[in-house]
Amino acid sequence: MDESYIVSRITELRMKKGVSARDMSLSLGQSESYINTIENKRSLPSITFFLYTCEYFDISPMEFFDEENKHPNELADIVRDLRKLNSETLGHIAHVIKDLANK
């Protein structure tokens, strides 16, 4: 993983959210071209802005850097709900997931 991952991940998440680079920049209190400069590899976000970006996408930094997770918002919602369940119910759900994954 290198700096290009950060750029491509921001672009991927932004496009999935369906917002323009300009709208995202303004929503995060930056100049209208800020995200564009990141996506065009002219700058990288500061750690503070990176944390704001994760908050904007409603994901954790860990979810941001999970290269295999193409659906961080959906998985985060599922995990939040799963944490509320007892172990027996989790076992049933795990069985269903394994069955679905094998099809």
Q: Which pLDDT score, from 0 to 100, does residue 2 have?
A: 80
Residue with tokens 């959906």: 74
Q: Which two tokens stand for residue 27?
A: 């929503």
Q: Are 35 and 21 in contact (CB under 8 A)?
A: yes
Residue 1 has pLDDT above 80, yes or no: no
- Measured in residues, the chain has a length of 103
Write down the pTM of the prediction: 0.74
Measured CA to CA, the distance from residue 83 to residue 4 in angstroms comes to 33
Q: Which two tokens stand for residue 47?
A: 């750690």
Residue 76 has pLDDT above 90, yes or no: no
Q: Which pLDDT score, from 0 to 100, does residue 87 have?
A: 95
Q: Which of 63, 37, 69 is CA-nearest to residue 46?
A: 37
